[in-house]
Copies of this chain bind each other. A is one copy, B any other.
Amino acid sequence: MSTHPATLSVNEPFPPCHQEFQVSCHTCRLSRICLPLAVNSGDLARLESIIERSRPLQKGELLYREKTPFQSIYAVRSGALKGFCGTRDGKEQVTGFYLPGEVLGMDGISNGHHASSALALETSAICEIPFDSLQRLSASLPGLQRHLFQLMSREITEDQLLITLLGKNTAEERVATLLLSISRRNARRQLSASQFRLPMSRVDIGNYLGLTVETISRVFSRLQKNGVLRVDNKEIEILDPETLQRAANLAC
């Protein structure tokens, strides 16, 4: 089934509502990097009252689908997802990867339906935040409103970074940049910045970076041969961060 250590045991096809799902924002390890950042403890209860936590998504399940009505934005509690949109000619473009503590779904706000789809790359626990309620709440909580603006603005700047990456950088620079991005996001969650497991396939990486699988594979091999990385399938160890940093040559 899933190759990763399942901390949440969901073996039934249609699991009953386990109480494990009912985690609170107060106790959530990710509360500092997720939504509640700018909200004080009193207000947190109000925010929490509108958040819904359903059963975890299994690997391969869709969180939402492109062109369907937009209702909520989502915060990743555990696992990993990819965002992608279909192109006219049947292919797809991966627009982002979402790790624990990150928020997705905000591209659906503008016109009432999702502009992209989101799919679980591994078993993932998700907080659903109905946007109507969030909007109403944020009108009375200036800190929350500000945080939402910041969250969306960050998404914009990150997209611009990716645009630069795709427009200007070589295959090696793109791969290096992605690895460093994941490394940094892991560090933010108190995980190892030098050793981690990629949640996504080579295909997804290539798709995200505008490259083919073969190119991704070749770059990994080259970086390994040069002693920059140790690659064992999805298991990555960054041996020489400085060289990787230089290889990334990142912009913005």
Contacts and interface: CB of A to CB of B under 8 A. Distances in A.
A153 B110 contact: yes
Assign chain A's interface to a size class: 35 or more
Interface stretch (A20-28, A81-89, A118-126, A196-204): A81-89
Number of copies: 2
A229 interface: no
A116 to B, nearest CB: 7
A251 B92 CA distance: 9
A167 B93 contact: yes
A115 B150 CA distance: 13
B152 A149 contact: yes
A107 B252 CA distance: 12
B145 A93 contact: no
B93 A164 contact: yes
A228 interface: no
B251 A163 contact: no
Interface stretch (A9-17, A29-37, A134-142): A134-142
Interface stretch (A39-47, A52-60, A154-162, A187-195): A154-162
A91 interface: yes
A210 interface: yes
Given A135-B146, A152-B153, A251 B86 contact: yes
Say whether chain A's binding surface is mostly helix, strand, loop, or mixed. Answer: helix
A219 interface: no
A239 interface: no
Nearest to A87: B251
A231 interface: no
A149 B107 CA distance: 10
A88 B156 CA distance: 19
A154 B87 contact: no
B138 A210 contact: no
Interface string A143-180: 00110111111111101101110111000000000000
Given A85-B160, A93-B252, A139 B145 contact: yes
A166 B167 CA distance: 6
A101 interface: no
B252 A116 contact: yes
14 contacts: A85-B252, A86-B252, A88-B249, A88-B251, A91-B168, A95-B164, A108-B153, A109-B150, A110-B154, A115-B157, A115-B252, A136-B142, A159-B159, A159-B163
